[in-house]
Structure 1
Amino acid sequence: MSDGWPAFDVERDSPTFALLHLASQMLGKLRVAHAPWANHGWHVTLAPVAEGLVMPPIAAGGRRFELVLDLCAHAIVLRTSSGSRDAIPLEGTSVSGIHSALIAMLDRNGLPSNFNGRPSELPDALPFAEDEAPRGYNQDSAERLRDALARVVPVFERFRAGFLGKASPVHFFWGSFDLAVTRFSGREAPQHPGGIPGLPDRITREAYSHEESSAGFWPGGVTAADPIFYSYAYPEPKGFRTAAVDPAAARFDETLGEYVLPYDDVRRSANPEAELMAFLQSSYDVAANLLHWDRDALEREVAAP
């Protein structure tokens, strides 16, 4: 630990993050199936909460219900507007086991349980119902992710508060398993070429319909990797890849097409919050300046709580 920021280890944490990634997709896909579409797909993202991540409420038969990926109870927890509660465990099962248990829980509570059963944005992934291999789940790994989000989210929220223009909430994309916040200039962008595995081009093009500067935190997931912070611009302006971005540990990743900053460098720094904010602000500065955004109209000083 460094000032409360938890350390991660790929070998130890990846099996748990992979299971959480696929479980989070089930929650998101349920919302896709039973909620009206909103701009950029923001209605289907998960929201960071104290316990972990929550699916926004769904209306059903005069009630509303939500599902929490609870990293304290290590369960998917059901909460309804009538006050009923239910849960299924994340530990000691398979992806198929979580899938069938989730459907059974929704059915016994008289709630809609149908959703697309194939993972998104994951090439060659088995349908949830067919992924029967036993999965490891380490409670400590899940709690480290929860505690990292508790540190990262307030920095993202403060960064978002400095923008007057259209901006996303600080939310969690279950397709790629990352926390993100996005700012927009208000101008339309060139049509995105699409081609993201497991994601229809119409969804990608709607998501990137307007100029944006986006930043996020990716802990890994089905892909075993060291956690990173990232920042990119769409469309990518000329000179973006060679611009100077703070702090010194940040670099442009040619494969990902975005600036990256290792989470561990932030964690080990003397002031992790300031280090992360420097990355968010400087990478946004580069994008906004090269894309000629009207920064005087779009930005403001952050008000104290």
Structure 2
Amino acid sequence: MPWINHCWHVPLYVSARGLSTSLIPHASGSFEIEFNFVEHRLEIRKIDGKKASFTLESMSVADFYGKTFDRVKQLNLEIEIYSLPVEIPDPIMPFPENNQQAPYDAEAVHQFWKALTHAQRIFTQFRSNFMGKVSPVHFFWGAFDLAVSRFSGRTAPKHLGGVPNCPDLVMEESYSHELSSAGFWPGTGFGEAAFYSYAYPEPEGYQDSVIKPQDAFYNEELGEYLLPYQAVMNASNPDEILLDFLQTTYEATAVNGKWDREALEK
């Protein structure tokens, strides 16, 4: 993929079947890789109609890596990837050498995907009300979160980096401009499923803002506002309280950071 600012060329996207790379340009014909969480298959499709797939089931990382690249070669696609885990404190080893068996719970994965479809729906609605630069709604496999980010248009202080097994230049480029970012963790980050929102850089007064709904709170360790997923699930109107959370945490950034809201908002 061509490099897109803030590393936007690498995430996955919620699809009607699971998670997809979207269409990747390639000299031998553009292609797409999709995790199908309905039929539980990894599917690789080219624009010339050729395709290859295999069943998603319990296996080692090495087996998954091997099966993926076997199918890629069947389609005459020459591609390379960085074969070490990133954003993980203690990566086991390169993918082709990791023979530890990993479980695959098809029902849990299916429910996870269904949750992503609802979060994607609300994030897309929230995204539509912003006239300034805003990211797609995309899934970052490193932190394992669905995210959407709004930008003020101003440059930000240089990020200090320090993300495990991730070059500092990646974080420096990703956080090169002021932003308000929100997303959904299925369990990563907070330790339980939750929605999150943070500002970079965090403006003075941000932590003292009035945030809706009442179940939302600021987590000092993470430096983010959190809204437990269970609180959204238990609400009489889940869409409304999630939109409230997204809007009030964004306003905490925009108001305290003195963004030009008249120019940026619809």
- Aligned with 2:76 (options 98, 104, 110): 110
> For residues 238-266 of structure 1, what are the alpha-carbon distances to aligned partners after superposition, in whole Å with 9 as ceiling and x for unaligned?
12122221111111111111001100110
CA positional deviation for 1:59:
2.6
SS at the partner of 1:67? strand
CA contact (8 A) 2:28 2:77 kept: no
2:21 aligned with 1:55:
yes
Cα distance in 2 between the residues matched to 1:38 and 1:257 = 27
Q: Higher relative contact order by CA 8 Å / sep ≥ 6: 1 or 2?
A: 1
Aligned-pair identity in percent equals 42
Unpaired stretches in structure 2, ≥5 consecutive residues? none
Name the structure 2 match of 1:250: 216
Name the structure 1 match of 2:174: 207
Cα distance in 1 between the residues matched to 2:42 and 2:234 = 32
Name the structure 2 match of 1:181: 148
Matches within 5 A, 1:135-150: 135-150=102-117
2:51 aligned with 1:85:
yes
Cα distance in 1 between the residues matched to 2:193 and 2:139 = 15
Name the structure 2 match of 1:29: none
CA contact (8 A) 2:28 2:76 kept: no
CA contact (8 A) 1:166 1:186 kept: yes
Name the structure 2 match of 1:36: 2
Q: What TM-score does the superposition give when structure 1 sets the normalisation length?
A: 0.84
CA positional deviation for 1:220:
2.5
Change (3 A) 1:53 1:60: same
Name the structure 1 match of 2:259: 293
> For residues 139-166 of structure 1, what are the alpha-carbon distances to aligned partners after superposition, in whole Å with 9 as ceiling and x for unaligned?
1101101111121111100100000000
Cα distance in 1 between the residues matched to 2:190 and 2:243 = 26
SS at the partner of 1:252? strand
SS at the partner of 2:204? coil
2:210 aligned with 1:271:
no
Q: Kindly indicate which of the two structures has a greater share of residues assigned to helix.
A: 1
CA contact (8 A) 1:237 1:291 kept: yes
CA contact (8 A) 2:59 2:102 kept: yes
> For residues 161-209 of structure 1, what are the alpha-carbon distances to aligned partners after superposition, in whole Å with 9 as ceiling and x for unaligned?
0000000011111111100000001001111111111211111000000
CA contact (8 A) 2:51 2:75 kept: no
CA positional deviation for 1:50:
0.9
CA contact (8 A) 2:12 2:21 kept: yes
CA contact (8 A) 1:70 1:77 kept: yes
Cα distance in 1 between the residues matched to 2:9 and 2:27 = 20
CA positional deviation for 1:113:
3.7
| Greater CA drift, 133-142 or 161-170 | 133-142
CA contact (8 A) 1:44 1:56 kept: no
- RMSD value over aligned CA atoms? 1.3
> For residues 2-31 of structure 1, what are the alpha-carbon distances to aligned partners after superposition, in whole Å with 9 as ceiling and x for unaligned?
xxxxxxxxxxxxxxxxxxxxxxxxxxxxxx
Which aligned segments of 4 or more residues in structure 1 are displaced greater than 6 angstroms?
Answer: none
Cα distance in 2 between the residues matched to 1:224 and 1:63 = 41
Q: Which amino acid in 2 is paired with 1:128?
A: F
2:130 aligned with 1:163:
yes
Q: What TM-score does the superposition give when structure 2 sets the normalisation length?
A: 0.96
